[in-house]
A and B are shown apart, each in its own frame.
Chain A
Amino acid sequence: MLTNAADMSFNPRYHHTTTQLQEEQMIIEAAKLNPEYFGPLYDKYYKQIFGYVYQRMDCKDTAFDLTSQVFLKALTNIHRYEYKGVPFASWLFRIAHSEVMQLFRDQKNKRAVNADVGDMRNICEEVQEPFFEEYLPAIQQLIKQLPEDDLQLVELRFFEKRPFKEIAEILDITENNAKVKMYRILEKLKKSITNYKL
């Protein structure tokens, strides 16, 4: 629906209107008292959190297990949750991010990067380089070699197409910091792509 301008300024799956935030806050307060009332939040965010987890690994079953782990951790710690002006989703994503990183520390072979050819083309466009399919293995290799922090930013921005505001909230950094970091990563990638072509 295109009725409310304010609603459209954000990703509606992630950001909310004031009313939606208030309603969600009431559910959170209820869930703090009775875990049965966590249900609507679980239903609402399960797919998003699974998507986030599975995006970073190869094994579907591990992703489902880790998603359950994220929600169990969220439910266990919900009494500590305090509303700080960002959606509940950002708190869940931070837990998911922390759990995923913990898993990769324990089992490095679980880490995988998942992207589409279209995402690769987007990266080339963003660094103003022409895209040819024969470049794909080289670009994949460049992305795989990125440090974990940089890889996370590329995943969030290019493979999950999240706005910088959302990325900043998930990674708990400022929006501008996210933009500047992304610019540096793209510059590195541009250099590497140019070198590869030479």
Chain B
Amino acid sequence: MEPKFNLDRPKISDEEINKNKDFGNLVKQFKEQSIEKARSDKGFLKKGKISYAAVIAGVAVVCTLTYLTVSKINSNKTINDKTATLKNTTTPIAETKTAFISPPHKKINVPYSSYKVNAQKGGDIAHHTKSKVKVPKNAFVNKKGEEIMGDVEIQYREFHDQADIIASGIPMTYDSAGTKYHFESAGMFDVKGFQNGEPVFIKPDRTLTVEMASTNPEDHFNQYELDTVAQNWTCIKRDKAILPKLAGPTPKDEVHAVAGNKTTKALEEKIAAIPPKIENEKVVYAKKISALPKPQTPLKPLKSGGRPKFELEVDYKEFPELTAFKNAVFEVGEENKNYSKELSSITWTEAKISEGPSKGRNYLLTLKTRSRQEKLVVYPALSGADYECAYKTYEKKFADYNAGLEKRQQDEKRLQDEMQAKQEAYYAEQKKLSADLLKEQIRIHQQMEKQLTEQFNSMGNQQKITRLFQVSNFGIYNSDCAQKMPAGAYAEPSFTINNGVPLLNIGKIYLIEHGRNIVYEMPYGSISYDPKYIYSLCVISNGNIYTCSKENFSDLTKTQQKKLPLEVLNDNVNDVADLRKAIGI
């Protein structure tokens, strides 16, 4: 049995729907049903399915919710009130007879570019605007859900300015919660796929990546997909402008450029040569310092103190320091534990002195017989006039020694100052060379930056920014920002053509805002605009395109004249560039 078909059935009012809402009755029905169920299931309570913990948890959740629910109901009520007000004040829009996507003129519609991609291999499509479409492997299925083999035809086109938008006939209005917005566009594209004239579908686990070249570097856009059935745009995500990867010098190139530069190379070599020079100077001066004469400490004469002593004949050539100790005797030091009086009574066949443990102060006396040998530390000592004389000589020598020492210290300090001065000079040179090197590196960096900027500036606008889309369905996508209708002033022009003939059967009125990439679709009768901006107009009537220049629109707003003369574009139009010129883009 076929169902009944009702066409344009009257809608049921919200009041009538609300009248039938009865939550109390629902709860009552539910409770009755539960009691009935409980009766038929007597074991329910006995089984103790409801625990105390559950009751406590329930009470806690319920308390929290009381607050949440009340606040939510209040906020919903406010929103509903607002919606109701909005609905009551919105004038119903007359149903148009045109298709949802309705290009105003065949000649100016933006044409598709056709590309072939092997479905199994995938591939990258480079569009002439520098946009790219990346197709992954095995990305398509046919209407039966079977994987597509062989070549697939990808049809692709882009829309970048107001002329493209008008020419495409794609609606750029966005309905959000009953409020109509117009899109400021950072670019839009339309992508389709076919095989042998039959549409193909993108597999659920695959996406095409579209790197759309964009002219707008701003970062306040969202990505939208056009739902042609719901006749509205669906927001996908926040869009992000991606700056281009320039083919010019990279940081790596900059490193190479710095390394390869002769000036920087020479400077670096000079800087590298300085530390060895400093080290070399240290060596030179260390040698000079060590070469300074070292005064010998004179030997202080020892006064004979009654210790056991030996009288020895000394070879003064061998021990010249003992010259001042003529007639000296050699007293046995207290450290000689092996000394006994017996040693003084032995006739030694050989007695020999050599350097003692404290050089210049004591000597080692070796005494030998044929069968015995003893070693004693002895100190040269004088007595009487010999001591006096020796002491005077010592004092004189000691004064000379001090003078010599002082001179040596002065010479050493002079040499060290000299060395330090030379080192500081080297350090200063090193610092200067490093500064020169840094300057040179900055110069190279600035040169490269300039090169990059020149390259960036010499690029076409459409090459500068990329906007990345992940496309899981073929269709129309854009990177746009919803803007409210312009406000601030109104004009109510009567459009005329051919010297005052009124223009009838007006289909669409496009208000083109210059400075922002927006086209507003205006209702007939009243055009709202923001006096801060410059506008031009495009009017579609009976399949003809009429335009009003920026200058004429400005005159209209200044003089508040009623009649607005329009220029017909049809006779001279060849492509969208003619429309672009006519509306002053």
- Residues of chain A within 8 A (CB-CB) of B62 are 30, 33-34, 37
CA distance A23 to B75 in the complex (A): 14
Determine whether the beta carbon of B65 is less than 8 Å from that of A8.
no
- Residues of chain B within 8 A (CB-CB) of A67 are 20
Determine whether the beta carbon of B201 is less than 8 Å from that of A39.
no
Determine whether the beta carbon of B72 is less than 8 Å from that of A40.
yes
Cβ of A183 within 8 Å of any chain B Cβ, yes or no, is yes
Determine whether the beta carbon of A76 is less than 8 Å from that of B65.
no
Cβ of B5 within 8 Å of any chain A Cβ, yes or no, is yes
- Residues of chain B within 8 A (CB-CB) of A191 are none
The interface stretch among B112-120, B228-236, B327-335 is B228-236
Determine whether the beta carbon of A40 is less than 8 Å from that of B73.
yes
B148 to chain A, nearest CB (A): 13
Determine whether the beta carbon of B26 is less than 8 Å from that of A42.
yes
CA distance A39 to B144 in the complex (A): 45
Task: List CB contacts (< 8 Å) of A99-126 with chain B.
Answer: 108-109, 111-118, 120, 122, 125-126
Determine whether the beta carbon of B229 is less than 8 Å from that of A126.
yes
Task: List CB contacts (< 8 Å) of B143-179 with chain A.
Answer: 143-145, 176-177
CA distance A140 to B68 in the complex (A): 47
CA distance A34 to B143 in the complex (A): 48
Cβ of A86 within 8 Å of any chain B Cβ, yes or no, is no
Q: Give the residue of B61, B72, B222, B228 whose beta carbon is less than 8 angstroms from that of A29.
A: B61
- Residues of chain A within 8 A (CB-CB) of B76 are 43-44
- Residues of chain A within 8 A (CB-CB) of B5 are 112-113, 115, 140, 143-144
B85 to chain A, nearest CB (A): 15
- Which chain B residue lies CB-closest to A23? B68
Determine whether the beta carbon of A112 is less than 8 Å from that of B4.
yes
* Listed residue (B57, B144, B230) with the most chain A CB atoms within 10 angstroms of its CB: B230
- Residues of chain A within 8 A (CB-CB) of B58 are 30, 33-34
CA distance A187 to B69 in the complex (A): 48
CA distance A161 to B230 in the complex (A): 5
One digit per residue, 1 when the CB lies within 8 angstroms of any chain B CB and 0 when it does not, for chain A 26-51 equals: 11011001111111101110110010
Q: Give the residue of A112, A115, A126, A151 whose beta carbon is less than 8 angstroms from that of B228.
A: A126
Determine whether the beta carbon of B9 is less than 8 Å from that of A114.
yes
- Residues of chain A within 8 A (CB-CB) of B237 are 5-6, 9
Contact A112/B222 with A37-B65, A39-B23, A75-B30 known, Cβ cut-off 8 Å: no
Determine whether the beta carbon of A71 is less than 8 Å from that of B26.
yes
Q: Give the residue of B6, B21, B176 whose beta carbon is less than 8 angstroms from that of A46.
A: B21
Determine whether the beta carbon of B229 is less than 8 Å from that of A157.
yes
One digit per residue, 1 when the CB lies within 8 angstroms of any chain B CB and 0 when it does not, for chain A 14-32 equals: 0000000001001101100
Cβ of B100 within 8 Å of any chain A Cβ, yes or no, is yes
Contact A180/B143 with A34-B62, A114-B9 known, Cβ cut-off 8 Å: yes
Cβ of B347 within 8 Å of any chain A Cβ, yes or no, is no
CA distance A196 to B470 in the complex (A): 40
- Residues of chain B within 8 A (CB-CB) of A151 are 3
* Listed residue (A35, A54, A111, A162) with the most chain B CB atoms within 10 angstroms of its CB: A35
- Residues of chain A within 8 A (CB-CB) of B231 are 122, 161
CA distance A30 to B59 in the complex (A): 9
- Residues of chain A within 8 A (CB-CB) of B291 are none
CA distance A46 to B12 in the complex (A): 14
Determine whether the beta carbon of B143 is less than 8 Å from that of A26.
no
Contact A50/B3 with A2-B181, A179-B201 known, Cβ cut-off 8 Å: no
Cβ of B17 within 8 Å of any chain A Cβ, yes or no, is yes
Among all A-B residue pairs, the 6 with the closest Cβ atoms: A33-B58, A8-B235, A176-B204, A111-B3, A112-B4, A161-B230
Q: What are some 22 contacts across the A-B interface (CB < 8 A)?
A: A1-B176, A9-B236, A23-B72, A30-B62, A35-B27, A35-B31, A37-B62, A40-B72, A40-B73, A43-B76, A54-B12, A75-B30, A112-B3, A113-B6, A126-B228, A140-B5, A151-B3, A158-B229, A161-B229, A175-B204, A180-B145, A183-B143
